[in-house]
Structure 1
Amino acid sequence: MPDNSDHEAAIALTYDGANAPTVSATGQDELAREMIRVAQENGVPLYEDPDLAALLSRLDLGEAIPETLYRVIAEILAYSFYLQGFTPEDFQDGRRKG
């Protein structure tokens, strides 16, 4: 069995504030590095967790994250909003105002 520990993975999630986050893009190796580069250029907060990436990479594009990951993904999203300067007051009914 090949050792995959040297492979890079990137997973992008989409969250509309009303439904569970879904997988919007996945990439391995060169594509993963390109996804990370584009995210960095556009100020998208990144979170690195190889174990979580391995779990999310098993999902199909457009597939919602499983309920078992709701809490960890919610914490990551909340922290990313905080890093972008958003507070709970910036949201209404689970969606960002404006």
Structure 2
Amino acid sequence: MKRKRAVALSYDEQHIAPVVVAKGEGAVADRIIERAKQYDVPIYEDETLATMLGQLQLNETIPEELYKVVAEVFAFIYQVEKKVEGR
């Protein structure tokens, strides 16, 4: 059985791309996911992407090769937030 993995990204105007702000496996991944739920942060599940992002260091900007897929994740999150606001 594979261990659960979680990576949290943040993006603001200070950075050229999203930054890894938390990452972990197993119990640490569970805590990251629980914290996201606690603050109503949308969760996007993609094992391959989590593995690639998990190789980055904390506070490291994502590499250019991942811009497109991460942009798709942020678009997904935007759609989820718009639906929640519309309720």
TM over 0.5: yes
TM range (shorter): 0.7 to 0.9
Give the Å deviation of 1:78. Answer: 1.3
Q: Confirm or deny that 1:81 pairs with 2:82.
A: no
Structure 2 counterpart of 1:10: 6
Q: Distance in 1 between matches of 2:54 and 2:47?
A: 10
Q: 1:22 aligns with which of 7, 15, 19?
A: 19
Letter in 1 for 2:2: D
- Distance (Å, rounded) in 1 between the aligned partners of 2:57 and 2:74: 20
Q: Within 5 Å, give how 1:12-51 maps onto structure 2.
A: 12-17=8-13, 19-51=16-48
Secondary structure in structure 1 of the residue aligned to 2:82: coil
Aligned length: 82
What amino acid is aligned across from residue 33 of structure 1 in structure 2? D
Bigger helix fraction: 2
Unaligned runs of 5+ in 2: none
C-alpha deviation, 1:19, in angstroms: 1.6
1:40 and 1:29 map into 2 onto residues whose CA distance is 17
**Normalised by the size of structure 2, how large is the TM-score?**
0.86
Give the 4+ runs in structure 1 shifted more than 2 A: none
Q: Cα deviations across residues 54-94 of structure 1 (Å, max 9, x unaligned)?
A: 100100011111111101100110110121118xxxxxxxx
- Larger Rg, first or second structure (1 or 2): 1
1:18-73 superposed Cα distances (whole Å, 9 cap, x missing partner): 52001011111001011101111211000111111110010001111111110110
Name structure 1 gaps, 5 residues minimum: 87-98
